[in-house]
Structure 1
Amino acid sequence: MNTPIRRLSVVIACLFTALLVASTVVQFVQAKSLGAMSTNKRTLLDTYSRERGSIVVGGQAVAKSVPVQDQYRFLRSYPAGELYAQLTGFYSYAVGAPYGLEHAEDDLLSGDADALFVRRVTDLITGRKTSGATIELTIDPKAQAAADQALGDSKGAVVALDPRTGAILAMVSHPTYDPNPLSSHDLGKAAKAWQSLSTDPDKAYLNRAISGVYPPGSTFKVVTAAAALENGVASDENSTVPGPAELDLPLTSTPLPNEDDRACGPNDETTLIHALEISCNTAFGSLGLELGGEKLRAQAAKFGFGDSLQVPMRVATSSVPADLNAPQSAQAAIGQYDVRTTPLQMAMVAAGIANGGSVMTPYLVQSVRSANLDVISSAPDPVELSQAVSPETASTLTKMMVSVVDNGSGARAQINGVEVAGKTGTAQHDPKKPPHAWFISFAPATDPKVAVAVVVEDGGVTGSEVGGGRVAAPIARDVMEAVLSR
């Protein structure tokens, strides 16, 4: 063989080798990332040709695929419209990347999950069309409807948990949106709907229950009370604590006042239980000074602050700042300064107290079923996230929270024949806007079956617990009643 032919053979061999390497890289190494690209319309068209699994609440599909006579073959439909939009999210050819559970459980819903491998192989052998898994949620339809109706036109969120298991019974965020236009096969209509939603100044696309991060206001005083009891600063609900009209703070000339500019008891003193009943700022500020920032932060961490959670959607991390100085500790103790939390986290605080001090890991998926309804997986046994406080401390906190509802600022959460535990909150966040109104609660107090957190944006009254008690407490009451009436 002469030299030119030999060189040409080497070049051809190198080209074939490069072709084999490139095709191998594309088909095996890059296959998953290429398939996951939102701009890869071929993958989306292939996925749309399958029957995507349903998302089910109380035996009814709140997201399902409906056969249609077009190139996509199936249309994603959301029969309940806005009610479950913040949970289901949406699946849209026009938008590309799914939202909510449609994103978090995409592998299962599309049929691509490893758990469905055997089913896919069987489908390949039999020629049967591959379809996705059905996901059953823990949501109580009555509680979800009650939360949605009670929150009404207000901005905010409601979360209800089963304190014994961590199951999410209701999750509502307002404003919300209708996911059906986004899933439309009329791409112009879908694109217009996405443009409207993505630029909405009220952020209707945001699930405030898990992604909204707010100052907790006076609801955080429950955490401060827990820290005081756990660290021996207070022995029980009748322990005496300072309660002057205003609390002098070190390192600053600005004192911490009570909302009504009055002392919380005679001789500038009160009891821990009465301080919670009337939400006495100076009492809890003084506890914050005595405890210090690190003990407050450590106690909050035991309730879940700082944890990265997925339910399976990712939950924004709640936080108490590190390295708090004395005045910052006093402010943090009443849920201000830079303390930030999600409604889900505050529901976990209430649930942890209700459950004897044990905070359970929250979850939203009850079970996963294949297309022929075989159970692929079900919710594991309840998993304890942490032991936030001792059973004794939980019992004391329960007495105090019951007194808030029976004798204090949470009276509008009362339910006939049921002992309710709760705590109001008013959280300042913008000098130009009203504060947020909060309420956390659980019931029945002696045998808790539901814990609820409510936040109403700008729903409070500056300098008063009226907002939490008047606006947020009735919403929590309606949700608790819905669960307890099952």
Structure 2
Amino acid sequence: MNVQIRRLAVGILVLYSALFVRLNVVQVYSAGDLNAREGNNRQVLRDFDRPRGKIQTSDGTVLAFTTETGGDGFEYQRNYPTGELFAQVTGYFTLGLGSTGVERSYGDDLSGQSGAFELRALTNLFDSEGTTGDVVLSMRNDVQETARDALGDRRGSVVALDPRTGEILALWSTPSYDPNLLVDSTGSEAIRVKTLLDESPDKPLLARSFRELFAPGSTFKVVTASAGVRSGAVTMDTPSYPQLTEWTPPGTTKAIRNFDGALCGGPLDEILRVSCNTSFAEMGARTVGPDQLVETAEDFGFGSKPPIDIPGAVASEIPTDYGRPLGPFPDGEGGTVYENTAGLAQVSIGQGDARATPLQMAMVAGAIGNGGIVMEPHVVAEVRDTEGDVVREIEPAIWKRPLDQKQAAVVRTAMDGVVDDGTAEALDIEGFEVGGKTGTAQTVAGEDRSHAWIVGYAGVEGEAAEVAVAVIVEAQQGISEQTGGRVAAPIAQRVLRTALNPAPVSAPGDLPGQLGGN
């Protein structure tokens, strides 16, 4: 009998220990992932019927605030006074649908439930109103408005950031949506509206700027050039690629042609200036090779999900397997042929299976303007209490180092030339050093439509760039390298001009019925 009791006791102890370990795993180690999981509304249920802090831009525009409903049921309701302008950043906070965007990733701060605010609550036990936090974005209302207005009704995205800190200044995609349509205390109307938005072929709920992948076209030549410079095989003067109208990689009969049958070639600055397909295809496939190209792209951030502080970011893609080496190029001029050298040549000019988000390409341009360093991108600058005191600051952090300063300077000189006297002349701004790279990516083979791209940076000459930008205008008529310079560059220039000017900072006034902050 005693033996059976001991066995039972041991069994219960083992089960209890396993339960204890599992509870700690769930409550401590997995808590963050579980709270961030789509469809988990536990945090929303906890925080919905209580005051909540504001979300505002760095220049004082209030983007989200809470009011008292004064009716039956729930006492509070979230409001988004700028409508669609910041919807894909702030997200929404509703009972039936949960939360997205900043409302989700900074939900504990907004509701006063983060560690810093809970500590303050313990030291102020007599505060009957409780504590909420205000989230201040790094984004500027004036830059975001410029991005929206410059893009207009055309489908596409605009990203602007400070490459020195990773602070995002604008993050806009057309089409967007109005989060006020999803604010419904019962949840039934919000669900109906979201269903309609989900079914729309325009996908307005999808922030295309950091959640959608596109062929980067010739903007990827910045990565290819960086790989060449980093390898030591490419300098500003050597090699000088042959003047060609087309080049056929080994292993295929399909030639890579220059836009409009142009004859081009030469050293790095010249081939980037005119965006020479034949030269960059040869640079990637022969001069650089697959290992160095892939490694450089990954060091810019390809293959990794960017650590932006709002949910849903996707990793940009570059193929990593080009098959086994087959031997030297048949012309005896150097380089190794691989089983898929043809695919490598396509990727080297931003075609084939290369895919990137506009955010990723803005970070590529920003790295060139910032001495070869990619900073962690973020939309939030700081969290404040209701008295306006800073509770927490988002500190700049290095994410990737694809180039050293000397290597970045070589590519920067070449990109400056693209603006001075190349395909991106429309990006130029008097009084500033501006560099850029246009791009065109055909949407469907055989169709006369393409995505128009541009990436670039601007700042005081000789110093780290102050602003980096990426613009994509989707499915434009025509397929020409001039498409990016004609369509996307004027948009990027307007955004750069606004961002380079000091922000017109003003303290936000109280909004009607506003709670959770001054």
TM-score by length of 1: 0.87
Which residue of the partner structure matches residue 316 of structure 1?
A: 314
Structure 2 CA distance for aligned equivalents of residues 468 and 225 of structure 1: 19
Distance 1:37 1:469, change over 3 A: closer
Structure 2 CA distance for aligned equivalents of residues 105 and 129 of structure 1: 20
Quote the offset at 1:122 in angstroms.
5.0
Structure 2 CA distance for aligned equivalents of residues 163 and 331 of structure 1: 29
Q: What residue identity is the alignment partner of 1:143?
A: V
Distance 1:38 1:430, change over 3 A: closer
1:165 matches 2:162 = no
Which residue of the partner structure matches residue 336 of structure 2?
A: none
1:80 pairs with 69, 79, 82, which one?
A: 82
RMSD: 2.7
Distance 1:78 1:433, change over 3 A: farther
| 1:169-215: CA deviation from partner (whole Å, max 9, x where unpaired) | 11111110110010133644323321221212111001111101111
Structure 2 residue runs of 5 or longer lacking an equivalent are: 1-19, 323-339, 503-518
Which residue of the partner structure matches residue 18 of structure 1?
A: none
Aligned partner of residue 163 in structure 2, secondary structure: coil
Quote the offset at 1:391 in angstroms.
1.7
* Maintained 8 Å contact 1:426/1:460: no
Quote the offset at 1:302 in angstroms.
1.7
Structure 2 CA distance for aligned equivalents of residues 36 and 446 of structure 1: 42
Structure 1 residue runs of 5 or longer lacking an equivalent are: 1-23
Which residue of the partner structure matches residue 468 of structure 2?
A: 451
* Maintained 8 Å contact 2:61/2:141: no
Quote the offset at 1:146 in angstroms.
0.7
Which residue of the partner structure matches residue 284 of structure 1?
A: 280
Which residue of the partner structure matches residue 454 of structure 2?
A: 439
Deviates more, 1:183-192 or 1:294-303: 183-192
Which residue of the partner structure matches residue 334 of structure 1?
A: 349
Distance 1:336 1:134, change over 3 A: same
Structure 2 CA distance for aligned equivalents of residues 60 and 128 of structure 1: 28
Identity level (%): 38
1:295 matches 2:311 = no
Aligned partner of residue 261 in structure 2, secondary structure: coil
* Maintained 8 Å contact 1:426/1:461: no
| 1:112-133: CA deviation from partner (whole Å, max 9, x where unpaired) | 223322234456x426233432
Structure 2 CA distance for aligned equivalents of residues 40 and 147 of structure 1: 33
Quote the offset at 1:67 in angstroms.
1.7
| 1:11-33: CA deviation from partner (whole Å, max 9, x where unpaired) | xxxxxxxxxxxxx99x9998898
| 1:301-332: CA deviation from partner (whole Å, max 9, x where unpaired) | 12121222232114211121111221111111
Q: What residue identity is the alignment partner of 1:299?
A: T
* Maintained 8 Å contact 1:281/1:334: yes
Question: What are the residue-to-residue correspondences of 1:105-116 with 2, within 5 Å?
Answer: 105-116=106-117
* Maintained 8 Å contact 2:156/2:208: yes
Structure 2 CA distance for aligned equivalents of residues 30 and 402 of structure 1: 52
1:418 matches 2:394 = no
Distance 1:129 1:181, change over 3 A: same
Which residue of the partner structure matches residue 14 of structure 1?
A: none
Which residue of the partner structure matches residue 271 of structure 2?
A: 275
Distance 1:193 1:237, change over 3 A: farther
TM-score by length of 2: 0.82
Distance 1:36 1:319, change over 3 A: closer
1:177 matches 2:177 = yes
Structure 1 CA distance for aligned equivalents of residues 82 and 436 of structure 2: 31
Aligned partner of residue 321 in structure 2, secondary structure: coil
Which residue of the partner structure matches residue 145 of structure 1?
A: 145
Aligned partner of residue 374 in structure 2, secondary structure: strand
* Maintained 8 Å contact 1:350/1:441: yes
Quote the offset at 1:237 in angstroms.
4.9
Which residue of the partner structure matches residue 477 of structure 1?
A: 493
Deviates more, 1:382-391 or 1:70-79: 382-391
Quote the offset at 1:372 in angstroms.
3.5
1:429 matches 2:443 = yes
Quote the offset at 1:387 in angstroms.
2.2
* Maintained 8 Å contact 2:368/2:408: yes
Structure 2 CA distance for aligned equivalents of residues 216 and 222 of structure 1: 11
* Maintained 8 Å contact 2:282/2:345: yes
Which residue of the partner structure matches residue 5 of structure 1?
A: none
Structure 2 CA distance for aligned equivalents of residues 403 and 256 of structure 1: 24
